[in-house]
Structure 1
């Protein structure tokens, strides 16, 4: 297939929100400080909180795939704008609860993401009765 000029330019994305400073974490939901998880608004966590292993241009076998770092940046930008702000806030709240759970259970960073099914089930089980089923669904999807 030839280089089609229709694909050489990406559609513009909305400008990032101008946001207020985040409030302090509640005392029962304060994560251990980490450079991987800067203190930010809940709706920004999907974009700003990163796993220990960086996002990669390699597939599951380690082979380099034909995309650029700018393509990865574009993927993250699209993901961060593809959900309504309230959904991003709920997913971001779930990430906070998940990392506080991991902190309290001494789960090493390298085991948090990607998370094993056992770790995810233990997290969801620990939240059962504290949050609604819909909230737990959203926390799971956010992770």
Structure 2
């Protein structure tokens, strides 16, 4: 690993761009704007340090990390309520989708696990009789679906 100084820091201006070969950009404007952005970055001389950027102090904080994870999880999660209970679909489709999201479609795997049918009865798919009847099998993998 190299320090900032070893990578080419000009103490008067900023980064010294020492390129080992030609840089080819498909978009000339993009290349120029990238070089312009790099030219305005100012650095300081000193020891390189690791900084936790979400924190004002720069120190890692577990509470802040958890808050960021929750925010990221919520941002990446679709709004299932609006996707499932959409008025454009018939209610039977919405109910089936809701059951699937909650892993509650009454397939043999679920019925055996809930002790609704005997564990000694066949758990194989009633359609293809080649694999256990699970939601994934019925909706995705079964040759009959």
TM-score (norm 2): 0.29
Q: RCO greater where, 1 or 2, for CA within 8 Å and sep 6 or more? A: 1
More helix by share: 1
TM-score (norm 1): 0.29
Which is greater in Rg? 2
